[in-house]
Structure 1
Amino acid sequence: MNNKRILYLIIAVVLVGALFVLFLNSGSEEPTAAKRKKVDYSSHDWKVDLSLDNKNPYGLYAFRELTIADGRFTEFNAVSDYNLLDSIVQLDSSMLMFIGMDLMLTDEEIDLVLESIDYGNDFFISAEKIPSYLLDQLMSEKALTYYPNKKAPHKINKKVYDMYYFYENDTLTEIWDLFNPKKLDTLTNVLSTIYGRPNYIEIEYGLGKVFIHLNPLVFTNVQLLKSDGKSYFKEVLLTLEQPKIQWLTFANFEAKPYSDKSTSFENNKSLLSELFKHPAFRWGFILAVFGVLLFLLFRSKRRQPIIPAVEDNKNTGFSYVDTLAGIYYNKEHGDKILKIMRRNFYSAVYDHFYIDLAKREDSKPIIALSKKSNIPTSEIEQLIKYLEVTTKVSDIFLSNTYKIQRSFYLKSGIWNEEIRQKQINSSVSIYRQKERALGTIGLGIFIIVLGFIFLSVSLGVGVLFWPLGIVGIVIGTRMLNTPAIILNPGQIELNPLFGKKVIILHENIKFIEEKGLNSLIYFKNGGKATLNNSQLDQKKIKALDHLKQRFKQT
């Protein structure tokens, strides 16, 4: 091949690559001013992330800035290391503060906080989920209730401020958590109410006070940038007396529900769909295509006809269900989902109890259903009230309605014990981090492409790059497709990258200990196994918490 032909070949390859790049990037150009304005209000900006640095609608950036600017507080310290709790609780004139969806403090940490309050410090909590252990220490009985509505008039110091649940600048029905005033202790001081029921109370504990607010979303950016929200926030600050704020960042945990169905669906995703999501992976694919072209031009030779591989049939049932759910979710048709839930509920009641709730004219069918199912009429009426909501509903409202409906199915016997045990006994697979797996595969592809480039310039050392790249691809594929841990009802399966599978029976475990980023499993025979938590998928690692709590060292 002479120099002129090589030059023509290089020009052709560059043109093909340029056209390929333009094709891949044709849908990712910079948005215009009008499009950019629309992106500012896209759905992902409305995710609830109650962190102090989050400037999106449901962040706490405005809360921190307004609190500091108020001038009543001399210090505002955000503590992200839980090991510093022992030192924080010993400070004087301090207000321990937490705002989040879920207060994740252990019983020992709660005891330390209460001991600090007993000596004169205060504790401000605003969360939807508060540990039962803390409530048991502060109240004689459980007093939590809720009220679903779009509007929530917050009354404080004889002033009323209207609050709404916003999503994409639209008001939706929200479930507002409240206290039952009849179950509160007589010494409890009610500071704020919604529809006459307390949502913000003050409890004296020793020399200090505990302030509990059940609606953390009223302190987010989208609320504080409105006049009623800002005015209500100022009234709340007036109830706080301590000059130093110790913000418990480490106690803020955003729970993400785990679903076995989502795992089955994710395993059916194409690898190329993951590659094209990110520009870096897309460029890795381009380099791989160039490597294949160079191989075909310089080193390939057809030896035998290609025999197509026979693919196994796949169960796409979960994929079909998830696809339909995705269609409803993307188009935000929550009312249609609620309609399907209502229709399924009426059908299940009719098939099981022969009671037609859809055509009821009075309360007689509900009374009959209560007698047959042994469920109070109040619970049945509450479920029907939620299912028959006609206004636009939020995802949180749908989730809570489903929980109540599921509880009815289990209590009434529509779902039998066999189905319950099947859910309990199902296994949980925890994979390694997808980013590391894809990075390893990308590195292997890059090494192979580099070998092709060396061979194209007649450097024989390029042959050595092939096995290294193949090893990287094999390791990355194993990381992506093989679960690192499988949690079964009676045993744990560990699948290391190298070596045989290890099965650990629960009866052989002595205890499990957390040490840094590792989980150490100690056996009754004196041995131990190590789990590196940093290598596991952080979305699924919470499935280990129940096992760690069960075998916690005493």
Structure 2
Amino acid sequence: MTTKFKVLVGCLVLLFAMLIYLETTEKEDINWFPTYSKKDKIPYGTFVLYNTLKESRGAENIVDVNRPPFEVLQDSSFEGTYFFINTQVPFDEAEANRLLKWVTAGNTLFVASNSMPEALLDTLNLETQAYYDLDNLENKPVLQLSNPALQRKNAYYIDLEIGATEFNEIDTLETVVVGEFDLNKGDTTTLEEPKTHFIEQAFGEGKIYLHLMPTAFTNYNMLYEYNYRYVENALRYLPENETIYWDDHYKNGKTVQQSPLYIFLNNRYLKWAYYLLIIGVLLWVIFEGKRKQRAIPIVKPLSNKTLDFTETIAGMYLDKMDHRSIAFHQINHFFEFLRSEYLVNTGNRDKQFLEKVSLKSGNSEEETKNLFQFIDDILSTGNVSQEILLDLNKRIEQYKSTT
């Protein structure tokens, strides 16, 4: 290894070490994707809410549900509060009907979502619409609960730009307004024009709670000033002694199986270790292969002159019209074939010899006898014509092809 090569490798290693250091020490960007997953500690995760519920209600009373509600509610022992929180909770008509039937039996349904399923709204005589304040570019809502016992002197301010949705039409005979909101108009302590976003409705023997601002239950909002008290008071409407079934099926950040390579590439340290390994292998192949590999010269194999020699000798015999010599050579070549392939002695061509050759070659005894009779006639004659020579060649090739 030359000094120049060592310096080059050292510079490359130092360069990669600096890149890895800069990458690993760089502050990671905040992930603002709304996963609403109980495992995520990012702003729009629900890690704080989930663990707060486990502490306040008891871990044994919080049950994770990973299957669709339509499938889960087939179990008659499934009783308590079904808790949904996500950007959207897309119940179809059959699933919504099964949920409502389950609530009728005396259970509780809680749904926090930016939009409610049409099948649910139609049954409950509700309508929603997006709310915009064209005179205000800031879409940061201010929340307040309707119950005076649960109200805070100053309203709860969500320091996030979000899209707001309101219940613009409700059945006042069946529906109770639980919470209201307004967009920030400069005063974050009061609601100048309250809009409904949180309602309660009795349904059969149970109750349904619909909340149009799931952002209020996220990690960011619960850790912002005193907003955790809003969540605490909002969840007081849920029955205290019932099991809460936490839905993990309708989640943007639902856990799915990932390949090992995906996990590697999504971890900063594993990703750079993987890249460094690949780069190191490539460098080793390039430099080590260049240092040791040499061009292998092409050596032409010796040409086989046997065929040329045979053609020359055969041409000489043909020119002299010496068919008898050619026939003898052909017979000797055939005998050599019998001796090498069948291990028979061609010196004594008696009946036992014919039977052995017939058995090993797969030809009949009659064919074998005729062939050797023809050969013996040629060997005993003094003159061989061209027709006999061709006939001999034909018979031998046909006999060998059967073998």
- What TM-score results when the alignment is normalised by the length of structure 2? 0.57
Higher mean C-alpha deviation, range 211-220 or range 58-67? 58-67
Whichever residue aligns with residue 11 of structure 2, its letter is L
Matched, 1:63 2:61: no
Name 1:95's counterpart in structure 2.
81
SS for the counterpart of 1:43 is coil
CA shift in 2, pair 1:94/1:214, >3 Å: same
Deviations along 1:277-299, one digit per CA (max 9) or x if unpaired, are 74313421331122122222233
Name 1:298's counterpart in structure 2.
292
Deviations along 1:332-386, one digit per CA (max 9) or x if unpaired, are xxxxxxxxxxxxxxxxxxxxxxxxxxxxxxxxxxxxxxxxxxxxxxxxxxxxxxx
| Counterpart Cα distance in 1 of 2:70 and 2:60 | 20
| Structure 1 unaligned regions, length at least 5 | 1-7, 167-172, 256-275, 304-554
Kindly report which structure 2 residues correspond to 1:335-346, keeping only aligned pairs within 5 A, or say none.
none
| Counterpart Cα distance in 1 of 2:164 and 2:70 | 33
Higher mean C-alpha deviation, range 111-120 or range 82-91? 82-91
Per-residue deviation, 1:301: 4.8
Name 1:155's counterpart in structure 2.
144
CA shift in 2, pair 1:56/1:72, >3 Å: same
Per-residue deviation, 1:118: 1.6
| Counterpart Cα distance in 1 of 2:127 and 2:217 | 25
Per-residue deviation, 1:238: 1.4
| Counterpart Cα distance in 2 of 1:213 and 1:232 | 13
Matched, 1:28 2:20: yes
Specify which structure has the bigger relative contact order, considering alpha-carbon pairs within 8 angstroms and separated by 6 or more residues.
2
Name 2:314's counterpart in structure 1.
none
Instruction: Determine which of 165, 170, 184 is the counterpart of 1:177.
Output: 165
Task: Note if contact 2:65-2:245 (Cα within 8 Å) is conserved in structure 1.
Answer: yes
| Counterpart Cα distance in 2 of 1:212 and 1:31 | 44
Matched, 1:124 2:124: no
Task: Note if contact 1:90-1:116 (Cα within 8 Å) is conserved in structure 2.
Answer: no
Whichever residue aligns with residue 181 of structure 2, its letter is I
| Counterpart Cα distance in 2 of 1:72 and 1:203 | 27
CA shift in 2, pair 1:106/1:300, >3 Å: farther
| Counterpart Cα distance in 2 of 1:12 and 1:83 | 68
Task: Note if contact 1:143-1:184 (Cα within 8 Å) is conserved in structure 2.
Answer: no
Name 1:194's counterpart in structure 2.
181
Deviations along 1:224-253, one digit per CA (max 9) or x if unpaired, are 123431111121121111521011101213
Task: Note if contact 1:127-1:215 (Cα within 8 Å) is conserved in structure 2.
Answer: yes
Whichever residue aligns with residue 67 of structure 2, its letter is D
Instruction: Determine which of 210, 213, 237 is the counterpart of 1:212.
Output: 210
Name 2:252's counterpart in structure 1.
253
Task: Note if contact 2:129-2:165 (Cα within 8 Å) is conserved in structure 1.
Answer: yes
| Counterpart Cα distance in 2 of 1:184 and 1:146 | 20
CA shift in 2, pair 1:292/1:190, >3 Å: same
- What TM-score results when the alignment is normalised by the length of structure 1? 0.42
Deviations along 1:463-491, one digit per CA (max 9) or x if unpaired, are xxxxxxxxxxxxxxxxxxxxxxxxxxxxx
Per-residue deviation, 1:56: 2.2
Deviations along 1:407-428, one digit per CA (max 9) or x if unpaired, are xxxxxxxxxxxxxxxxxxxxxx
SS for the counterpart of 1:174 is coil
Per-residue deviation, 1:84: 8.8
| Counterpart Cα distance in 1 of 2:98 and 2:294 | 70
Name 2:346's counterpart in structure 1.
none
Per-residue deviation, 1:193: 0.4
CA shift in 2, pair 1:84/1:113, >3 Å: closer
Per-residue deviation, 1:48: 2.4
CA shift in 2, pair 1:228/1:91, >3 Å: farther
Task: Note if contact 2:217-2:231 (Cα within 8 Å) is conserved in structure 1.
Answer: yes
Root-mean-square deviation over aligned CA pairs: 3.3
Name 2:30's counterpart in structure 1.
44
Name 1:244's counterpart in structure 2.
243
Task: Note if contact 2:128-2:165 (Cα within 8 Å) is conserved in structure 1.
Answer: no
Name 2:191's counterpart in structure 1.
none
SS for the counterpart of 1:295 is helix
Whichever residue aligns with residue 47 of structure 1, its letter is F
SS for the counterpart of 2:87 is coil
Instruction: Determine which of 283, 292, 311 is the counterpart of 1:289.
Output: 283
| Counterpart Cα distance in 1 of 2:5 and 2:74 | 64
Whichever residue aligns with residue 243 of structure 2, its letter is K
| Counterpart Cα distance in 1 of 2:17 and 2:97 | 56
| Counterpart Cα distance in 2 of 1:87 and 1:143 | 27
Whichever residue aligns with residue 120 of structure 1, its letter is G
SS for the counterpart of 1:202 is strand
Deviations along 1:182-213, one digit per CA (max 9) or x if unpaired, are 45453111100013111101122221111110
Per-residue deviation, 1:122: 0.8
| Counterpart Cα distance in 2 of 1:26 and 1:250 | 43
Name 2:397's counterpart in structure 1.
none
SS for the counterpart of 2:30 is helix
Task: Note if contact 1:163-1:228 (Cα within 8 Å) is conserved in structure 2.
Answer: no
Instruction: Determine which of 232, 235, 240 is the counterpart of 1:234.
Output: 232
CA shift in 2, pair 1:105/1:89, >3 Å: farther
Task: Note if contact 2:66-2:249 (Cα within 8 Å) is conserved in structure 1.
Answer: yes
Name 2:11's counterpart in structure 1.
19
Whichever residue aligns with residue 190 of structure 1, its letter is V
Q: Percent identity?
A: 18
Name 1:507's counterpart in structure 2.
none
Largest Rg, 1 or 2: 2
Kindly report which structure 2 residues correspond to 1:358-507, keeping only aligned pairs within 5 A, or say none.
none
Matched, 1:164 2:158: yes
Name 1:115's counterpart in structure 2.
101
Whichever residue aligns with residue 115 of structure 2, its letter is K
Whichever residue aligns with residue 103 of structure 1, its letter is V
Task: Note if contact 1:101-1:254 (Cα within 8 Å) is conserved in structure 2.
Answer: no
Name 1:54's counterpart in structure 2.
40
SS for the counterpart of 1:192 is strand
Per-residue deviation, 1:113: 1.8
Per-residue deviation, 1:102: 1.8
CA shift in 2, pair 1:83/1:238, >3 Å: closer
| Counterpart Cα distance in 2 of 1:183 and 1:121 | 22
